[in-house]
Each structure stands twice: as C-alpha cells, then as structure tokens.
Amino acid sequence: MVETIRHDILIVGSGLAGLRAAIEAARSSNGKLDIAVITKVQAMRSHSVSAEGGTAAVLYPELGDSLESHAFDTVKGSDYLADQDAVERFVSAMPGEIYQLDHWGLPWSRREDGRIAQRWFGGYSYPRATYAEDKVGFFEMQTLYDTATKYDNIHFYQEWFVTSILAEAGEFRGFSAIEMKTGTFAQLLGKAGIMATGGSGRLYSFATYAYSSTPDGMAAAYRAGIPLKDMEFIQFHPSGLIPSGILITEAVRGEGGVLLNKDGDRFMKKYAPNKLDLASRDVVSRGMMTEIEEGRGFKDEATGLDYLHLDLTPIGAEKIKTRLSQIREIAIKFRGIDPVEKPLPVRPVCHYVMGGIDVNIDGATRLKGLWAAGEAACVSINGANRLGANSTAECLVWGKITGAEAAKYAEGRPRPDSAGEKVQLEEKRIFDGIFHGSGATNPYEIRDALQKVMAKDAFVYRTGDGLAEALRTIRELKAKDFLHVEDKSRTYNTNLSDVLEVESMLDVAEVVVAGALARTESRGAHARRDFPARDDGNWMKHTLAFRGPEGPRLEYSAVAVTKYQPTERHY
C-alpha cells in the first residue's frame, strides 16, 4: 500500500541549500504555497552543520577587494572550467546573503570596529572568508533552521529516505520515499521539486563527510534521465586529521598555520612560491602527496597512513583558543594533541564534489519542474577545483534562486493527482526485490571494496591503467547479488537504507571513474600522471554523463567564457 502526501513544493535535503530554498519559496509566495522539506536525517544533522572556516563574499571594496577579484579568483581556482556567467551572478549575490544572515541573527565574528570579520582562504587575493569562529556551518544552519520554523507553511519530514524521482510526460510529479520510523512507503506529490541532497563524499572511506553523505540524490536524478556533470572532479582537502579524516579547516592556514614535512621544511615554497600554504586546494594536495611519495612524510603506526604536519603554533595560543576553538577541541578529543603545543598529523582527504546534477544558471534541471542546488548540483561555479568558502556561499545563493524559481513555477498550477505507474514499480523494486530478496554477497563488503578501489585509483593522482582497473572493479561489484537485507523489521531499518545507499554509490562511482578515464588531461583536482598537462584544445568542456544500458554515456558541453581566457595558473 502506497501512502500519498501532497504539497506544492517538495525540497529534498535540509542542509544550507535546502533550508535557504524553503525560506525563499515561503517568502516569495507570501505564504501561499505549501512547502515540504524531506530529509533522511534530523534537519540539524545535515552535513552543512560541519562547515568550519568561512563563507566567501566581498564586503569591503574600500579595502581593495572587488566583485571582479572574487570572480577571477574563482575562475582561476576552477582551472578555467567554471561557467563565468554563473560565477558573476554568484559573487554579485553573496554580499546580500551575508547581511541577510546577519539580520536573521547569525553571530558573525567581528573586527575591533564592530564590523563583520573576514579571513584569508586559499587561492584568494583578499581576505573574504566571512566567519563565526570556526563553527560557520553550525551557526548558518542554526540561523536558517530557526528562520524556517517561523513559517507555518514549511513542513519537515525528518528521517525520510527518498528513493526516486517521479515524473510523467517529461514533467516532475514528486518523489517516492520511505519513512524510516515506520517503514511506510509513500509518494510525495508536488507541483515543483528541488534537489538539495549534498555531495557524494562517502565514495571514499577517508573523508570529511558525515556517514550519511552518500549520493542518493545524484543517483535518483541519474536514474530519472538527468545527466550528471563533471563528476570526475573530486576535491581532496589538504588537511584531514589522521586517522579519522575529520576536517581541519583551511582557516588554520588562513590564520597562520603552516605545513611541514618530516625534515621540518615548509615544503609548499617549492610548489606555490607566492601563496605557499594558501594556494588552491588541488595545488596543495598534490604538493603534499609528492612529499609523501618522495619519502618526506611520516607513517602512522596504527593505520599505516602516511601524513605530514600542520603546525598551528605560529598562530599563537590566544588566537587558537578564540578563533579556532573547535579545531583545538577536535584535535584533543580525536587525536590527543593540543595544537597550542604540537603539530597535527594530516593528509589529503575527500572533501567536496565539484560535479553534480546538471542544471542551468537558474538551477533548473532538464526535467520540467525540478531544480537542484548546493553540492548536489553543478551550475558550474567550481569547475575543476573549488576555492574554500565558496561552497557554503553557493548553497545560499542557489538555495535562494531555486526557492524563488520553484515558487514562481508552482503558483497557479494544479497539484498532480498521481505519478503514474512508476511509484508501484519502485515499491516492488524495493520491497519485493530488496526487502524480501536474498543473495550470497554481503552489501557491506561491496561498500568496503568500492571505497578501497576509489582510494587506490581515483585519488589525488590518477593513471589511465588505474582508472580502467577501477571501472572494471566497480562493474564487477555492481553485478554481484548484494541487493538484499538481513533485517526484516520495518522500524528504522538501517540495513535497508544502507543497501539503497550502496546501490547509489556504485552508480555514481561508475560515473566518476568513467569521466576521469575519458578526460585525458590534468585540470584542477583531476591529475593524470599519464597526461600531466592541461589540454584546452580538446578538454575545455564539461562532461555530461547520461545513464545507458551499458553504463554512463558521455557527452560534452561548452564552458561559458565571458571575460577570462584560460591561462596557466601560478600560485
């Protein structure tokens, strides 16, 4: 039996993009539209809450910063694969978002004159990372969630697992979902939808992401016929704490922390002589891996992981305790090191996906009535490499844009009566095929094998042979009979949700690796040892992956260039 729930606008995901979209849809429609926010976790446990260091915006042009500087830094950081019209829209909108959050009550850190404070981040020409100590994501989420709860027409469906996008005659109709508390299978029907489901970082075991950050939303779009764009570009943040992978924010280096090898050498002077530790993340991560591979790293005895040192002591004890208090707490709790006294062991860690669901500059997908925003989407402002502090900012800008666009689309339209036969087919696939299914292969072993091959062959440095082997392995894993559960309970069946996540992980990992294998160049976060140069003649284009019967079918689209022609990057 399929339960039917109806609203005007359906938003999947309760992170920064989803909450900002809900608020804007409610505001722009003057409370006339009924809005649902569907999230597989409790709303304040969305991964956005973990963002630490800053949100980028130009606040003080009188000090030399400018919208053009922010735009150029972003395009350069992207290794020129960003769509420049989208970047221009982004940087223009961001100052207003900072002040809007300020008016809603976000406790931004302040300068001595009382104005909002900003700090340096990697790849920037000016300090424009707006911060609230080192808890930016928490305070932004708290502010948006509190604001959203003030609207009577915003309804939260917490701990609901969305399994598919429902469409009919080329138009969005809704989503199918499982209420985890009861196991109820439902179709949520709406006039318009927004995907704000975040990234897919748990394709890697060593990651800064929450364990819930699996690519369910991306996979649902992919299965619904919407292409995924530029998925080969995975960002590896330079400073993941050993052995947990917990993020040590770039703000540490922005405040004066330095990276050191086992010889005590500040090695980034070799790889980025001007920006040093504050070069773009792809440059720093490659520098770190080169140091490790050439024998100038340390070895963690417990895990066997190689690492380097991130030394916070130049910052000074007082500044660490005030501006980086959460980082100090994390280091003490999870590593037993007080960074006031000793350096932290770090190595590159999976942190962000530059690609995502293909959308236009308004966040609209190819399915009429469906938008996407935040890390789940690829506008693209990040191209081949994202600059720090642009991610939370992107969530705010396109959360607002998609919320307003979806509200405009929904006003005056009738609610759909049904989503056709697909919801019955989806119920049968899940409950007859998986819940009551059987198989000899343990799905958790499939997940572990996938994460291992991604770490081995789709990490900071890649080769054609390694990517081809990874693609073969992923396809072998997909063919195994892992789609079954041992737990037959309907109540909070995490075994079922885990298996559904693994299924999505395999689909999206196949897209990542296929795109990486096809792209025979090095650009941004995609570094091929067998093709070490950037190739603008052949690869100044976006990858589009469509789902096909034999796997991803790759097509390509042009990059929007308005002002900045590609040149060699120097930091």
What is the end-to-end Cα distance of the chain in Å, rounded?
A: 59
What pLDDT does residue 302 have?
Answer: 87
User: Which of 7, 173, 253, 462 is the catalytic position?
Assistant: 253
Residue 228 · residue 356 · CB < 8 Å: yes
Residue 167 · residue 221 · CB < 8 Å: no
What pLDDT does residue 1 have?
Answer: 78
| Bridge partner list, 229 | 356, 544
Cis peptide before 109 (omega within 30 of 0): no
Q: Residue 460 corresponds to which tokens in the numbers above?
A: 């900071």
What pLDDT does residue 134 have?
Answer: 85
What pLDDT does residue 31 have?
Answer: 86
What pLDDT does residue 251 have?
Answer: 87
What pLDDT does residue 404 have?
Answer: 98
- Read off φ and ψ for residue 7, nearest 5 degrees: -145, 175
Nearest CA to 390 among 44, 87, 19? 87
Nearest CA to 192 among 77, 22, 358, 439? 22
User: Which of 20, 119, 237, 323 is the catalytic position?
Assistant: 237
- For the chain, which domains are there? 3-51+85-107+136-233+352-410 (3.50.50.60), 238-349 (3.90.700.10), 430-558 (1.20.58.100)
| CB count in 10 Å sphere of residue 314 | 10
Tell me the CA distances in angstroms from 444 to 449, 502, 507, one per residue in order: 9, 8, 16
- The length of the chain, given as a count of residues: 571
| Bridge partner list, 178 | 161, 185
Annotated catalytic, 237?
yes
| Bridge partner list, 299 | 306
- CA–CA gap between residue 279 and residue 292 (Å, rounded): 18
Residue type, 88: E
Residue 501 · residue 430 · CB < 8 Å: no
| Segments in the chain below pLDDT 50 | none
What pLDDT does residue 230 have?
Answer: 98
Annotated catalytic, 526?
no
- CA–CA gap between residue 234 and residue 382 (Å, rounded): 11
